[in-house]
Amino acid sequence: MSSGEASPWMTDADTDHHLKESFMGRAGEIQPEPMFDPHSIRADFPALAREVRPGVPLIYLDNAATSLKPWPVIRAVQAYDVDFPANVHRGLHTLSEEATAAYEGARGKIARFLNASSDSEIIFTRGTTDSINLVALSWGRATLRQGDEILLSAMEHHANLVPWQMLAQEKGVVIRYAELAPDRTLDLDSFDRQINERTKLVAITAMSNVLGTIVPIQEITRRARSAGAVLLVDAAQAVPHQRIDVRALDVDFLAFSGHKMCGPTGIGVLYGRQALLDQMPPVIGGGDMVTHVDRAGAEWNELPWKFEAGTPPIAQAIGLGAAVDYLSQFPWDQVVALHHSLVRRAEALLSAIGGIHLLTPPNQVNGGVISFTVDRVHPHDLAQILDRSGVAIRAGQHCAMPLHQTLGLAATARASFYLYNKHEDVDVLAEMLQNAQKVFHRR
């Protein structure tokens, strides 16, 4: 597979063909909305009903940073706080038993959502960053030796970069990077030049939080296996937008956050292959991660609790379970098609405006992100003036400074879509960008 082909892990071939035929269209053509109707669920998200200032409704296009929360998730967290606000695992009273059942029930929902082999392969963390740091501090410290190599890509989020840089400084490990192709997809030829017999870990994003680029994970898995390397996938952007099957992808580790998929903040997941997790030492001590403690030492608990020291994020995990339930009710191929159609509409409208430069890979299936620059307008100024019209976008380097250095840009503006966004949101974005140009170019 070439670097420009659509990733096979996204959808099956028939669905992918349907998406290209129905929603890509001819260059510059605006396509109609797909069958999934975002209007039908917008009432589930109370934030969408507010005005950011009198008479100015919210148009939320910052979903790659964090998504909005629907009522079922809000109520699930509230139910814990109101009805059974107890600690888990250790209590023998009714409230603790109810809390434990809800907490562990959420773990089971996530295991099924990812098609994990066992609930024990699901570790609750504080988020994607925490999950990747856990692997670095446990597996990395125990496994890697001086001269070993880690292979990343040029578009990694800091969460999948800084932990490995810290480990490299500590252990004398070498970090290598697969570069971008000219169309800003992953250059698989560059990947092949960097991977070798010294590569012990491939750690790569499944979807760029800046470019929306989707990485062909199945191809990456095949290459990692051929080199004998372990594979970690940063799926913070992918899990909210695609159906992920960890067994079909054959990944060793996969990390994501709840708050980007309608769940609460402060909760994330590390999926790990059980054989690897069994071998890994815990990195934080105390609480449920032990079964016996005396003055001489301690005995570690079984998976997954070996890695969940102290009081866990109980309410947040329950909320994430509710988010999985909420998302699972929808025909996901149609939701994916909506995301693609929103990006295509944005590409068509914004590319027709002079002075706007799109960074999204052209003619690619995209995960719901479009980044751009505007001539003579700093992205921070752009975000502030759009906010006056209720349009919430992100501006800056998006925790991906090396990628921006590769692109030769100090900062970018980013609009990112989710299942409650509608085509009218894109239309307002385009209109407000034109208005912003007029404001700044008068100066």
Q: Which residues are catalytic?
A: 399
d(CA 96, CA 231): 37
Nearest Cα residue to 166 out of 136, 199, 198: 136
* The total number of residues written for the chain in this structure: 443
Spatial distance between the Cα atoms of 369 and 345, rounded to a whole number of angstroms: 12
DSSP secondary structure, 325-372, as one string = HHHHTS-HHHHHHHHHHHHHHHHHHHHTSTTEEE-SPTT----SEEEE
Peptide bond into 216 cis (omega under 30): no
Residues 268, 125: contact at Cβ < 8 Å?
A: yes
Contact 36, 247 (CB under 8 A): no
List b or e across 217-240, with b for residues whose CB sees 16 or more CB atoms inside 10 angstroms. bbbbbebbeebebbbbbbbbbbbb
Calculate the CA dihedral of residues 400, 405, 407, 412 and round it to 10 degrees.
50
Both tokens of residue 103? 């907490």
Q: Is 147 exposed, middle or buried (0-12, 13-18, 19+ CB in 10 A)?
A: exposed
CA gap 246, 271 in Å, rounded = 8
193: how many CB neighbours lie within 10 A of its CB?
Answer: 12
* Nearest-angstrom CA–CA distance, 1 and 212: 19
Q: Which two tokens stand for residue 216?
A: 């062909």
Closest CA to 76 of 54, 106, 100, 39: 106
Residue 442, Cβ neighbours under 10 Å: how many?
Answer: 6
Pick from 286, 261, 223, 1: which is nearest to 109 by CA?
261
Query: In 3D, which of 32, 35, 12 has the Cα closest to residue 23?
Result: 32
Structure token pair of residue 305:
């609790």
CB 203 within 8 A of CB 175: no
